[in-house]
Amino acid sequence: MFRASVPLGREAAQEIIRERLPDYPVRSSLVWNTAPGALLTLPTFADSSRFMPFQLNAMGVEPRHNYTAVIYVQIGAALGPNAALYKLVRTITKSQFVDRILVLWAADRPLPLKKRWPPTFHIPLHVIALGGSSRALASPTGQTGPEARPSISQRFLPYEEIQTDAVLSLDEDAILNTDELDFAYTVWRDFPERIVGYPARAHFWDDSKNAWGYTSKWTNYYSIVLTGAAFYHRYYNYLYTNWLSLLLLKTVQQSSNCEDILMNLLVSHVTRKPPIKVTQRKGYKDRETGRSPWNDPDHFIQRQSCLNTFAAVFGYMPLIRSNLRMDPMLYRDPVSNLRKKYRQIELVGS
């Protein structure tokens, strides 16, 4: 490791010195000598390797049960029974694995009144208003508190409301059904160190521009699964917030874009593995929702630029290609739908 990179050697030396300070957690030799290594295993996150996604298989343990759904709201369309956000919350509530729902409100519009939200019954619903310079937390007790971090990266903050290992990250206009949520979660439990989800994208090297390219075209491979509809381990929120270079976070903040690409680079850098796409679904956005940033012509150009900036800061391209897709048992097989566990998925087009 020390011969591979001078900065890495310097960083490792700093960590060794830091571990000798009073009250700083000490990592075992196993952590230091097992991928991804001590530099990516932050001891301030947890006091046990059992909470690190990449250590679970080696320890022979499974992730803790259930997931926290985190919905990021940028548009903030009027909330009613026909609104995409309303339908999404209602769909999540029907999932057998959901622990709680966390709505991150980054829209300019004021928070909807409590009576406007769909009933979630026994599933706790937390709504957090994300301001330009403050964070207002609307909890069941009505408590509030400030926190300055004006960036789209707020969707990846390690919120204390997230108590499960699994995080289901969603955009407000995602249109997945309950079976799709449950199936993706069961797949994630087998691969807790990876991002598992629906919308796939790919990177490629463009010789004509001598730069990395980004495409949303349907190809025979992918290297990115967007966090607009994907599961990942909550440790990556902590790593994203506390380990990534400030230059990377500043790039995301200035463009108000690319946070999902950066999360993919981070996870692939840690695991040296690609994300996992589930089922054939291509589109996952509600087309009736207006003012979506995805409709901005500059949005795609920004993402190309971000990708090259990220690769330059990392010092290489962490993204890895894959052509693997996970489908449910008997998916699209010519048998009775009654024999299939995830019947709603059969009704979804591409």
Catalogue the active-site residues.
Answer: 260
Rounded CA separation 191/63 (Å)? 10
Q: What amino acid is encoded at 87 in this protein?
A: K
Q: Which of 265, 246, 325, 257 is CA-nearest to residue 292? A: 257
Closest of 158, 79, 66 to residue 111, by C-alpha = 79
Residue 328, preceding peptide bond in cis (omega within 30° of 0): no
Q: How far from chain centre, in Å, is Cα 298?
A: 23
Tokens describing residue 178:
């309950």
- Among 327, 325, 311, smallest CA distance to 245 is for 311
Contact 85, 172 (CB under 8 A): yes
Q: How far is CA 12 from CA 15, 41, 84, 261, 295, in A?
A: 5, 12, 47, 27, 44
Candidates 132, 133, 140, 197; CA nearest to 166 is: 197
The residue among 292, 184, 287 whose CA lies nearest residue 229 is 184
Let me know: does 184 contact 227? Beta carbons within 8 Å. no
Which residues make Cβ contacts (< 8 Å) with residue 19, sequence separation at least 6?
A: 25, 26, 27
* CB-based burial, 111-125: b 16+ in 10 Å, e otherwise: bbeeeebbeeeebeb
d(CA 216, CA 157): 26
Neighbours of 327 (CB within 10 A): 15
- The encoded tokens of residue 293 equal 């940033």
